[in-house]
Structure 1
Amino acid sequence: MNQTAVSVRGLRKAYGGFAAVDGLDLDIARGEVFGLLGPNGAGKSTTVEILEGHRNRDGGEVSVLGEDPGRPSRRWRSRIGIVWQNEVTPSELTVAETVRHFAGYFPNPRNPDEVIELVGLAEKAKARVAGLSGGQRRRVDVALGVIGNPELLFLDEPTTGFDPAARRQFWDLIRLLADGGTTIVLTSHYLDEVEALADRLAVVSKGRVVAVGTPATLGGRAHSKATVSWTGPDGRHDHLTDTPAAVVRELANCFGGEVPELTVTRPSLEDVYLSMIEQEAAA
């Protein structure tokens, strides 16, 4: 079996005279969680809509699960799942009725009761969707995204509106799906979410991919200088260095043991991402 779930070469899409996607290249392996980052207007949403088969492209080659999403077959559509940014769940039905109804659209659906359990809504199965909290309705959206037993799942800003506890529970659900072999494409403005979930990620700016890597190595992050900070008799000090361990040893010798308010930090994923976006904006 082809180990590439998504392959994109030279993708282009323009609206009038504006190039929303301008020669984008991308590869996503089967079974990985892949994050797409970029500011508003960078071309992420247009790219994902093309991959989902919901928007036509102007140029380039695209293969999703071995087929062209520009000519989607019924069988191909049954192999992908989508969790939209905005809620699409009917509010009049109960959770169980909704999930069972949508299961009927697919040739090989998952067991509706198991899916309801999977997304943490077993106790709400008989409750009407209209009466659920925002986070619970979002879980119904996820249930509808996975009920068809998709090989590839698109998640568009999946935890918008979640409280911190609900977000962490949702992360566990995504990890469970990934462990089961589902390929996941995640777009999110929450950098901690992408860092926690993504095996790899791409930064999109001005309609092109400007960097690809793991959360730990993106943009040379793993080799970035560290900042050693401490408090001395004359106040707070910050020292940028390639050898933080050596600096800490020297400080420990100077202080004769514990170093007051010692911290060692490297650039966060957010720091690296914002630096990339600023450089691209200035280019």
Structure 2
Amino acid sequence: MIHTRGLSRDFKVKKQVVTAVRGIDLDVEAGQLVAFLGPNGAGKSTTLRMLTTLLPPTSGTAEIAGHDVATDPAAVRARIGYVGQQNGAGENYLVRDELITQGRCYGLHAREAAARADELLDLLDLRPLAKRLPGTLSGGQRRRLDIALGLIHRPDLLFLDEPSTGLDPTSRAEIWRHILLLRETYGTTLFLTTHYLEEADNMAERVVIIDGGRIIADGTAAQLKNDLAGDHITITTGTEREAETAARISGGSADGTTVRLRVANAAGTLPDYLRTLDGAGVKVTSAETARPTLDDVFLTLTGRSLTDDDIPA
């Protein structure tokens, strides 16, 4: 569905060339749900705009569903849906009419557009809202309408740019329920960006992380966490001297009476570690384990958080 080689984009800023995306190679197979992560300024939005034909690449190539974004943008647009961060529906039509109009813009006959609109109204639980204006809907309802607009022409690939940003937890969960239902119903390939790392961790079968315009990690969330971050063990000792001893034994770090270390398998490592500390005369007053997060992966790779607002120049 997505095939890029050396995809790059430069901008001119005050007579200087700024490279936003640096030679991205990316392949996404049909039916995958891929989360595209990175801090603000990392190149996510620029990459997304190139893949959706909204911005021409400076160099490199990108093919979407077998069509080149630069030489055949119309064919690409016919095969993709795009749900941006802003609301896509206007205010002049009722919800159902808005969907029908969108379908007509994609070349569907009137009867076909109406049937498709009704199908999506039912699938996305929008039927009770069919005769309301988009401006009267809640945030979660409007996002479901945006998704319906992006699916009206039955695209092979749907791009979702921050689909749940700004929604309350209940609405976010509802949006994701519908996203997963769409995938199950239509087999649509989904490529999304999100700032909610737990969404990518729990929902996406593949995570791609971009930083400084380059892809720095690509794999399942479990693979990235196991290979690049590892589990965490935190123990508390009776004294600071005991903490220093525990840190030397484990190769971890001591902060006061707290010792932290990273291991491949915390559940399997902790019992032996506690026995070793006991044999060394270290009194452990508490111990806990934790699985790493995707932010831990990014922190290991870059020394920064995925939620940082800006990246270094």
2:21 alignment partner in structure 1: 21
For 2:59 and 2:4, locate their aligned partners in 1 and report how far apart those are by CA, in whole Å.
11
1:205 alignment partner in structure 2: 211
1:274 alignment partner in structure 2: 299
Matches within 5 A, 1:134-173: 134-173=139-178
For 1:29 and 1:272, locate their aligned partners in 2 and report how far apart those are by CA, in whole Å.
24
2:254 alignment partner in structure 1: none
1:6 aligns with 2:2: yes
Q: Cα 1:118–1:273, aligned 2, differ >3 Å: closer, same or farther?
A: farther
Q: Which has more radius of gyration? A: 2
For 2:122 and 2:154, locate their aligned partners in 1 and report how far apart those are by CA, in whole Å.
15
Cα deviation for residue 59 of structure 1 reads: 0.9
CA contact (8 A) 1:92 1:130 kept: no
CA RMSD of aligned residues (A): 2.8
Cα deviation for residue 178 of structure 1 reads: 2.1
1:90 aligns with 2:95: no
1:248 to 261, 267, 271: 271
Cα deviation for residue 70 of structure 1 reads: 1.2
Q: Cα 1:99–1:232, aligned 2, differ >3 Å: closer, same or farther?
A: same
For 2:42 and 2:269, locate their aligned partners in 1 and report how far apart those are by CA, in whole Å.
41
Partner amino acid, structure 2, of 1:56: P
CA contact (8 A) 2:160 2:191 kept: yes
For 1:261 and 1:112, locate their aligned partners in 2 and report how far apart those are by CA, in whole Å.
58
Partner amino acid, structure 1, of 2:46: T
For 2:75 and 2:127, locate their aligned partners in 1 and report how far apart those are by CA, in whole Å.
30
Cα deviation for residue 260 of structure 1 reads: 8.1
The normalised TM-score by structure 2 is 0.78
Q: Cα 1:38–1:263, aligned 2, differ >3 Å: closer, same or farther?
A: same
Matches within 5 A, 1:76-87: 76-87=76-87
Q: Cα 1:243–1:106, aligned 2, differ >3 Å: closer, same or farther?
A: closer
1:178 alignment partner in structure 2: 183
Cα deviation for residue 88 of structure 1 reads: 2.2
* CA deviation vs aligned residue, 1:79-105 (integer Å, no higher than 9, x gap): 110001111210232111111111212
Q: Cα 1:95–1:196, aligned 2, differ >3 Å: closer, same or farther?
A: same
Cα deviation for residue 65 of structure 1 reads: 0.5
CA contact (8 A) 2:80 2:157 kept: yes
Q: Cα 1:96–1:228, aligned 2, differ >3 Å: closer, same or farther?
A: same
Partner amino acid, structure 1, of 2:155: P
Cα deviation for residue 238 of structure 1 reads: 4.4
For 2:189 and 2:287, locate their aligned partners in 1 and report how far apart those are by CA, in whole Å.
41
Unaligned runs of 5+ in 2: 241-256, 279-283, 306-310
For 1:229 and 1:205, locate their aligned partners in 2 and report how far apart those are by CA, in whole Å.
29
CA contact (8 A) 2:140 2:175 kept: no
Cα deviation for residue 261 of structure 1 reads: 6.5
For 1:163 and 1:250, locate their aligned partners in 2 and report how far apart those are by CA, in whole Å.
42
The normalised TM-score by structure 1 is 0.86
* CA deviation vs aligned residue, 1:206-258 (integer Å, no higher than 9, x gap): 2111111111112x535744333466777975453445324237759x8xxxx
Cα deviation for residue 151 of structure 1 reads: 0.1
Q: Cα 1:225–1:45, aligned 2, differ >3 Å: closer, same or farther?
A: closer
For 1:246 and 1:21, locate their aligned partners in 2 and report how far apart those are by CA, in whole Å.
41
Partner amino acid, structure 2, of 1:14: D
2:130 to 109, 121, 125: 125
